[in-house]
């Protein structure tokens, strides 16, 4: 997928985008039939899994999602991070395009968007503006520019109609899933879907992203590990975000570097995730690998794309910490309590499903037992968890309508695990969690002492 994407007008309207979804389904079905016929003609028994997961389907899905952009492409980005583990390794170079490059919009659409945001004389503020985007993602594309005062900027311009298509995209995805029979009837996704729509609409509001970007920049201002671009407020509105341009290479490029660098950078990202969850309680919940760049000269990680930020409740943070402690102790009863509090275990689940989830968590807890670091790829931990979890795939009672905050935290943690696995990093999971577990125990003891004091205090009449 090294060819430069062609500029394509962003499709808008529920019916047109529904037709695009139908095109994806038709293309996949056609490829399955073609591959099955090929297997029959060569004397082989057709395999549904092989034909469904062949590279032609990966190519069809990727091309169409890159064309659609918006919420539909967000779904594809999540799929792309799993390639090589839950999906065939052959999909990785194909689906990676969804992390890095969508089809850019035509120049006419771009100019209309800039004029709407800045006026027809917008170009007078710049000494340079590249109409060729340096990145084209799911909600907008980014252009490099230089102001007349010399500041180098990255200008993110939202695709026309993307905000308006969010509801229909999500409804279309759910409709297709329900038609496939993959979603049990007892699962009510109404609340989660409403929150998902609201979250994506926040991501499509660049004024909101600018607020989060400034907040993260303030929180990490003293960090020697991370860089966060500044916002140019006077050039930013709901559809255009102007920010500092910072050089860097895609984080996945460090796979060619030494093991020490890989381990160090993946450790920094994992610690940042813990800091977000347990201290800041503000998480950038989109783990798309394209959101992280590396500067070899400064040895810093550049953080990008703050549209998917989410404030994490004290309850959710505390229960994840309880779950981490339970996993480190390999205490299944404590795991069960934390999972139930997070809504990841529910009354609608069968005993077999609950036992399988706990067994998968026990398998995952192996990474928290080592004092010398743990290599996910060498230990094949993700594949082992998948094998343990396989019985749940056919049990529809396993589906749960979890709290949206929990779903986003899971997405971020999973994304960081998949990145570390992809790069073959050895991480000290136990050491990284230790200060937060200690902090949690100190707070817990303090609360117990305060409760005991209040119970002993004499009542005033």
Helix boundaries (H) for 220-313: 259-275
- Residue pLDDT, tens place only, 413-431: 988 998 999 899 999 999 9
Alpha carbon 304 to its chain's center:
13
- Report, as residue numbers or ranges, the catalytic residues: 286
CB atoms < 10 A from the CB of 174, how many? 14
Secondary structure (3-state) at 250 = strand
With a cut of 70, list the residues of the chain below it in pLDDT.
1-102, 172-189, 192, 393-401, 446-461
Angstrom CA distances, 268 to 128, 290, 301, 307, 418, stand at 35, 16, 9, 21, 15
- Please state, in angstroms and rounded to a whole number, the distance separating the CA atoms of residues 164 and 43: 50
Q: β-strand 309-311 against 300-303: which pairing, if any?
A: unpaired
Residue 160 near residue 12 (C-beta atoms within 8 A): yes
- Among 426, 99, 423, 419, CA closest to 254: 423
Give the pLDDT score at 82.
40
Share of the chain above pLDDT 90, in %: 47
Give the tens place of pLDDT for each residue, 81-120. 444 444 445 544 444 544 455 678 889 999 999 999 999 9
pTM summary value: 0.75
Q: Please name the residue that has the structure tokens 């695709």.
A: 159
Q: What is the pLDDT of residue 110?
A: 95
pLDDT of residue 189: 65
Joined tokens for residue 47: 């395999």
pLDDT tens track for 329-383: 999 999 999 999 999 998 888 888 899 999 999 999 999 999 999 999 999 998 8
Structure confidence at residue 7 (pLDDT): 62
Chain length of the chain? 461
């Amino acid at each position: 997928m090294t060819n430069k994407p062609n500029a394509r007008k962003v499709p808008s309207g529920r019916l047109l985008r529904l037709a695009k979804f139908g095109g994806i389904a038709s293309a996949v079905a056609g490829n399955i039939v073609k591959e099955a016929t090929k297997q029959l003609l060569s004397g082989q028994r057709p395999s549904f899994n092989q034909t469904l997961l062949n590279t032609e389907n990966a190519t069809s899905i990727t091309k169409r999602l890159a064309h659609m952009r918006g919420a539909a492409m967000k779904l594809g980005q999540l799929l792309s991070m799993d390639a090589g583990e839950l999906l065939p390794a052959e999909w990785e170079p194909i689906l990676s395009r969804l992390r890095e490059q969508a089809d850019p919009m035509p120049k006419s659409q771009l100019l209309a968007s800039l004029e709407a945001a800045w006026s027809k004389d917008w170009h007078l503020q710049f000494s340079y503006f590249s109409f060729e985007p340096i990145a084209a993602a799911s909600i907008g594309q980014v252009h490099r520019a230089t102001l007349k005062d010399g500041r180098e900027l990255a200008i993110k311009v939202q695709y026309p109609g993307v905000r308006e298509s969010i509801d229909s995209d999500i409804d279309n995805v759910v409709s297709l899933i329900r038609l496939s029979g993959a979603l049990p009837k007892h699962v009510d996704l109404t609340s989660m879907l409403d929150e998902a729509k609201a979250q994506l609409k926040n991501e499509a509001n660049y004024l909101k992203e600018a607020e989060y970007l400034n907040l993260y920049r303030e929180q990490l201002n003293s960090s020697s590990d991370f860089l966060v671009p500044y916002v140019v407020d006077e050039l930013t509105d709901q559809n255009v975000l102007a920010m500092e341009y910072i050089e860097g290479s895609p984080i996945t490029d460090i796979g060619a570097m030494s093991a020490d660098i890989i381990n160090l950078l993946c450790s920094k990202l994992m610690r940042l995730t813990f800091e977000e969850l347990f201290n800041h309680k503000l998480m950038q919940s989109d783990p798309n690998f394209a959101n992280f760049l590396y500067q070899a000269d400064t040895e810093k990680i550049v953080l990008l794309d703050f549209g998917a930020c989410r404030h994490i409740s004290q309850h959710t943070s505390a229960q994840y910490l309880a779950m981490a402690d339970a996993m480190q102790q390999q205490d299944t009863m404590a795991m069960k309590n934390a999972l139930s509090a997070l809504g990841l275990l529910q009354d609608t689940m069968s005993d077999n499903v609950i036992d399988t989830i706990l067994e998968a968590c026990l398998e995952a807890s192996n990474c928290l037992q080592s004092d010398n670091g743990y290599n996910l790829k060498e230990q094949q931990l993700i594949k082992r968890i998948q094998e343990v979890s396989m019985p749940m795939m056919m049990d529809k009672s396993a589906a749960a309508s979890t709290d949206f905050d929990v779903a986003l935290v899971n997405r971020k943690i999973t994304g960081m695990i998949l990145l570390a696995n992809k790069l073959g990093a050895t991480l000290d999971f136990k050491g990284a969690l230790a200060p937060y577990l200690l902090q949690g125990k100190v707070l817990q003891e303090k609360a117990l002492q305060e409760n005991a004091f209040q119970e002993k205090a004499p009542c005033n009449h």
